[in-house]
Structure 1
């Protein structure tokens, strides 16, 4: 027996040592694959954005973030979320009492079997069969309440984030001006869903064990004294502190995993979006390398996370489950093995057996509840990762809506010339004045969001009725001019006088066709209700289509309410003409036409420009067609070297159209 005992002890020591070695190796592997180390070695190809620097750990910062998010999820004391929380709490109480009843009834069934009492066996078995529907109903009501609460939380948080995301041009700025959030689509969809699930699961997995602990402690105190529950609670505190300390890396690993998942999805979506251009370049091999690099980075991290979870799962099982059960057996056996205990001095064997079974099962249930509380720390560390990511996008969206953005990009030109501050440009330092029928640039530095100056001092004025042709080489700043004019890019100084956003319309070379009906393509972004409120009939819409020679589409589809995939149904020229029909519908004061008739015949183009003048729409046109110069009074030539020229169009200046 001594030899067997030594052998078992040696095996336990070996297993424990193996667990801590696995934990150590996983931690070293995590450090080896950390973003900082990869940056140092230059071994990772990035998409232009770093892994989030904000830490994720179960600390006061996490609880502060979680409290702020909970104020969004539960906005008022009287709301349906509070109702579901109370409903779940009631179901948890009912479930705990069902568990206690099941322990008592199960003990009585076993006691009847051992005592060979057919009457008691039938009675308690009938009680169990009678209670099964109620117990099943409680369990399923609990699941229903949890699922409803998850959905409510997701709806609240999604609406809150999209209110910020789709406020003004924030959805544009988060990807084009700011580079702190790599994949906002993942954060707004997948991470919000996971965060909502984690919050609800944590509420259930913490409140239920705590409730179990309170009830079982009360029951056990009357059965075996208060020393047993006190010992178990002391073990809870000690093991909880130890496991929480060991699980710290899990929060950061969760954040990194979601970041790598987003990067992997990003490179795949780029392939789909740009498939035609990649096919023309025969770039499948190169794209495969890019995708496999992103995928391998994700796989490497998942393997690291897997080893870490394996080691922590081993330690969790030992500390939170098996040792807890050992402590439970020691506690429950003490009153029965103590011969001086007056409670059991005159008890019969059947009474001892019945009380032991009942106390033992309650104590085992208490130990399991304590173990679930300890293991809830693992869920909390996972929740801290999602909390950090949701808080980050919430912070970025609020700052963007206040006009602040951050970029880490520094231009090569600035590094070479040593002009990093470049006349101390401050985003948003310019002044925008809204005024109808007037566009005036006064001493405005035309610069990109990261501070590259295209024109140091841009000044010109255009009144309604004066069409302007914008020309110059590619990359000279034509699109930058329109982004500033459309308030997509910040103003770095000077004074810009322009109409409000709704009175300035942009028509790009590749127009956007929305999801919806044929009517929606003409009136976008208006809805059918907006069309009716403006008093514009379907016959007028038909005239707009006829003006751009697209009436055949209405005849082909048969109705304004036909829904198609218009991006695929319409050709390039039809999309451009549909965008011009959209322009006629909105009748803005000014319109920016950015090569928007490149796929349209010259005669149709001539009719469109004539109709714009008839409708009183003043045009800023970017085009290389000489035939368009006759429709404009001024030209703005940007040479791409920091200079520009704004002059009236005469026969002598038509040379720029060649």
Structure 2
């Protein structure tokens, strides 16, 4: 069990670095290497300043012991230069470190966010990787928590190694060897202070490791509970009106309390383990300044070394000790860092699993392609749920260019899933869907998405940068029953919260008039409208976009009058079966539509 956990940890780290180290490759490599070299140079400068301060200690205390005022003033004269060099190198190190952290995080955030958003992975992840809760939090927060400490750890480890080697050499040179007699035999321990520092650091590190090892999974569980709690609060805010209308306050309060209870339980486990770690760290903190004094005191009392040498040895021992117990001092932060690394890598792993050929390895999936004409070809299409249950079985149909098709059937027969498959959001199944190349396709869901921005941006979405005359935009709003919004094109609002459900659906129809797509696929697009408004908007699309191919899912009365063919989903045990029939009433409407088009051309 332990080996499997350690293997997972190594795998997580390896996969995380495989993604994250891309910052040092590709287009960002010059910036990455430039910042890395700057950090290394300032680390070396900081170490040089530390060695200078250590040498100054010996010079000053030797002069102090001998009461040599000339040397004391000489040492005091050097002090401002050494302090200035140390402060400058440390300041430059902080700046270069923070720049490296910021740029690396920027790159990884763009990498993961782009990966998540591309190819509708943000949508499909909710079906494939439901355990990957709050991916937006992982991108916004866990990326920061995995990058910023990592840079500090790398600098700390490098500084610790170089510092340990440098000051161990000082200990070797200044402290010399320990001589004592045991059972009549003289024993000599060369460089005993350096050896003592290493032994002490090893003991402290082992104690910290065993005390802190359980902290990693507990911090990961705490972070997961925090993310779920934030997601619960976001869900409450986004559905505030619906909850308020049905007076669901008590249930929501209980749900929030239950979720926060999980956060508290996870935090208590972390606190208990950090208490154990604190015992180790505080014990080390108490012994840290005493041990070198006890070890060097016999040499000073015997007159073998001067007071300045004592101070230099103590400072060097402390430097070696601090370097060697770097792991002890940073164990809690390492545990927190690895918990964030694991969450980032789990997200990357889920995104990789969404790539074609990985989700259902060895199984068939729906083939998306281009048709050889302007028609939509659906051939031998079977759509399955993730559990393998067939929703739609062996459906084949051709929807001709300009044809208006109504899709109907019982709830749960797969109508909306068919829309998702046509949009490329649902690859699970078999068969093929071929769409005409070069055609603009617009999807109109039951709850249209309204982005944050000006009303003009909302109406032109997802092509907000396109140039459309304001009069054309206002005319589209007026014809869709939203004339009052025409004067608010430049107002920036949360339009998804400002407008009612019916107004949002009218906005979707106004988009169609402005963007003029070739293929329109609607899923309960008029469900929030009254029948008269539905007829008005569908009639508008019928006349203004008569050339467009329309696939419409709906149950509302009167929809048949605006379509030329009806496809009905019939529920069967082996999956829904499709039947198709022509709508005789729509022939009259088709005639009316052509007459209206002729009247406009004559006018």
**TM-score, normalising length from structure 2?**
0.85
Q: Out of 258, 266, 281, which is 1:301 matched to?
A: 266
Q: Out of 465, 476, 488, which is 1:544 matched to?
A: 476
Looking at structure 2, the residues matched to 91 and 57 of structure 1 have their Cα atoms a distance apart, in angstroms, of 36
Offset at 1:333? 3.9
Looking at structure 2, the residues matched to 136 and 361 of structure 1 have their Cα atoms a distance apart, in angstroms, of 19
Q: Out of 88, 91, 116, which is 1:140 matched to?
A: 91
Please, which moves more after superposition, 623-632 or 325-334? 325-334
Please, which moves more after superposition, 495-504 or 225-234? 495-504
SS of residue matched to 1:166: helix
Distance 1:246 1:382, change over 3 A: same
Offset at 1:512? 1.2
Contact 2:205 2:328 in 1 (8 A): yes
Offset at 1:315? 1.6
Looking at structure 1, the residues matched to 521 and 8 of structure 2 have their Cα atoms a distance apart, in angstroms, of 51
Looking at structure 1, the residues matched to 12 and 41 of structure 2 have their Cα atoms a distance apart, in angstroms, of 28
Q: Out of 505, 508, 511, which is 2:442 matched to?
A: 505
Distance 1:121 1:363, change over 3 A: same
Q: Out of 196, 201, 213, which is 1:236 matched to?
A: 201
Offset at 1:634? 0.9
Distance 1:497 1:468, change over 3 A: same
Matched, 1:72 2:3: no
Structure 2 unmatched ranges of 5 or more: 177-190, 589-603
* 2:563 corresponds to: 632
Looking at structure 2, the residues matched to 565 and 455 of structure 1 have their Cα atoms a distance apart, in angstroms, of 38
Looking at structure 1, the residues matched to 224 and 166 of structure 2 have their Cα atoms a distance apart, in angstroms, of 43
* 2:598 corresponds to: none
Looking at structure 2, the residues matched to 486 and 321 of structure 1 have their Cα atoms a distance apart, in angstroms, of 62
Q: Out of 121, 130, 150, which is 2:101 matched to?
A: 150
Q: Out of 500, 516, 523, which is 1:571 matched to?
A: 500
SS of residue matched to 1:128: helix
Matched, 1:517 2:476: no
* 1:200 corresponds to: 151
Paired residue total: 564
Offset at 1:492? 0.9
Distance 1:450 1:94, change over 3 A: same
Contact 2:167 2:320 in 1 (8 A): yes
SS of residue matched to 2:451: coil
Contact 2:63 2:71 in 1 (8 A): yes
Looking at structure 2, the residues matched to 541 and 612 of structure 1 have their Cα atoms a distance apart, in angstroms, of 15
Please, which moves more after superposition, 320-329 or 164-173? 320-329
* 2:378 corresponds to: 441
Distance 1:262 1:501, change over 3 A: farther
SS of residue matched to 1:401: coil
* 1:392 corresponds to: 346
Offset at 1:117? 4.8
| Cα distance per residue 1:520-575 (max 9 Å; x no partner) | 122211132xx24xxx5444434433432434322x22xx4442322233333332
Distance 1:562 1:275, change over 3 A: closer
| Cα distance per residue 1:594-616 (max 9 Å; x no partner) | 23234446555444334434421
Looking at structure 1, the residues matched to 238 and 201 of structure 2 have their Cα atoms a distance apart, in angstroms, of 53
Offset at 1:75? 2.2
* 1:14 corresponds to: none
* 1:585 corresponds to: 514
Contact 1:426 1:493 in 2 (8 A): no
* 2:182 corresponds to: none
Offset at 1:474? 3.0
Contact 2:204 2:325 in 1 (8 A): no
SS of residue matched to 2:101: helix
Matched, 1:165 2:116: yes
| Cα distance per residue 1:382-431 (max 9 Å; x no partner) | 3322222211111111221225438xxxxxxxxxxxxxxxxxx9864333
Contact 1:321 1:367 in 2 (8 A): no
Looking at structure 1, the residues matched to 559 and 348 of structure 2 have their Cα atoms a distance apart, in angstroms, of 46
User: Which aligned pairs between 1:353-392 and structure 2 lie closer than 5 A?
Assistant: 353-392=307-346
| Cα distance per residue 1:154-176 (max 9 Å; x no partner) | 11111111221111111111123
Please, which moves more after superposition, 577-586 or 301-310? 577-586
* 2:365 corresponds to: 429
Looking at structure 2, the residues matched to 328 and 74 of structure 1 have their Cα atoms a distance apart, in angstroms, of 42
* 1:596 corresponds to: 525
SS of residue matched to 1:181: coil
Offset at 1:465? 1.9
Contact 1:431 1:491 in 2 (8 A): no
Q: Out of 537, 546, 554, which is 1:623 matched to?
A: 554
Looking at structure 1, the residues matched to 5 and 118 of structure 2 have their Cα atoms a distance apart, in angstroms, of 28
Looking at structure 1, the residues matched to 439 and 126 of structure 2 have their Cα atoms a distance apart, in angstroms, of 23
Please, which moves more after superposition, 233-242 or 632-641? 233-242
SS of residue matched to 2:235: helix
| Cα distance per residue 1:272-329 (max 9 Å; x no partner) | 12222222332222222222122111111211111111111212343x5455555534
| Cα distance per residue 1:215-250 (max 9 Å; x no partner) | 211222221233321332244345434533443222
Looking at structure 2, the residues matched to 454 and 462 of structure 1 have their Cα atoms a distance apart, in angstroms, of 21
Contact 1:57 1:385 in 2 (8 A): no
SS of residue matched to 1:440: strand
Superposed CA RMSD: 3.1
Looking at structure 2, the residues matched to 370 and 446 of structure 1 have their Cα atoms a distance apart, in angstroms, of 60
Looking at structure 1, the residues matched to 443 and 124 of structure 2 have their Cα atoms a distance apart, in angstroms, of 17
Distance 1:59 1:596, change over 3 A: closer
Q: Out of 271, 278, 296, which is 1:332 matched to?
A: 296
